[in-house]
Structure 1
Amino acid sequence: MKGMGMMSREPRKSMSEINVVPYIDVMLVLLVIFMVTAPMLTQGVKVDLPETTSDPITQDKDVETITVSVDSNGAYFLEVGDNSSEPMSLENVRAQVSKILSQRANAEVMVRGDEFVDYGVVVRLMAELQAAGASGIGLITDAPQEQP
């Protein structure tokens, strides 16, 4: 009676394979999300902090030092060698430091910030100095006074 239109059915075997295509789609979406958000998590100015107390820096006579000072009012002053400048804007500091570093690539850049200046002012200054081409920025501090 097979020929009469009835087909005999064989019992179905259980499928032992897992369809992984939806899992791959989810994984790719998560990968894209992490790739987009990861750079946003690592912002900031790169500063190499010492692990112990630091010794004074010995200055090389052949290397010129550029010192940018921030007073308690947030005004910026640029000192190159023995020459000091008048108060200037952050944009002018960046332009001047960039100009100096283009002529003298091995110059050291140091920041002297007043104790009472806002932390954000110094951080913005360091970010602008980095953008001007300063590869390493040092912070100038006074040695702590010994207690009697």
Structure 2
Amino acid sequence: MAFGSFSGNRSAAPMAEINVIPLVDIMLVLLVIFIITAPLLTNAVKIDLPKASSEQNVSKAEVIQLAIDADGKLFWNGEALDRAAMLQRFHDAAAKSPTPELHLHADRNTRYEVIADVMSEAGKAGLSKIGFVTDPPAAPAAP
């Protein structure tokens, strides 16, 4: 960048050049600083840690299969029982940890009132995981 000129031609136009040399100097200094400091950040203390294997203690919840036939008869895991015995078993099962899952197998012709009553009593006893078990639809025959 020149401040003056020896030529007699004096023009009043400003200089339109950008001096990039100071910018390059700063960038090179920063590059050197990063090259020097980057390896210092990755150093770690070498420690020989002990090896231990442990498995997560996962206790699976018991599954209770409660079947209700078309006449409203109750079956606890295949064993026939009456309503009073069912209520007692609900309370006993709810006291277990983890709380068992209740799977309802209801006949297609079972009255809704019976199913709603069983679900209500299970909820009152503390069984919150209730599921309905259904049969998948039959696959259509191939032509």
Task: Give the shorter-chain TM-score range.
Answer: 0.5 to 0.7
**Structure 2: distance between partners of 1:104 and 1:112:** 24
CA-based RMSD: 1.9
**Structure 2: distance between partners of 1:141 and 1:134:** 20
Q: Does 1:141 align with 2:134?
A: yes
Q: Counterpart of 1:70?
A: 68
TM normalised by structure 2 equals 0.53
Q: Counterpart of 1:88?
A: 82
What do the CA deviations read for 1:90-147 (whole angstroms, capped 9, x no partner)?
A: x321211211220233311111101111111111111111111111210010011122
Task: Tell me by how many angstroms 1:61 deviates.
Answer: 7.8
- Code of the aligned partner of 2:81: P
Q: Once superposed, which parts of structure 1, at least 4 consecutive aligned residues long, lie more than 3 Å away?
A: none
For these two proteins, the number of residue pairs brought into alignment is 84
**Structure 1: distance between partners of 2:80 and 2:97:** 22
- Stretches of structure 1 that go unaligned for 5 or more consecutive residues are 1-59
SS at match of 1:92: helix
- Stretches of structure 2 that go unaligned for 5 or more consecutive residues are 1-57
What do the CA deviations read for 1:31-54 (whole angstroms, capped 9, x no partner)?
A: xxxxxxxxxxxxxxxxxxxxxxxx
Q: Counterpart of 1:20?
A: none
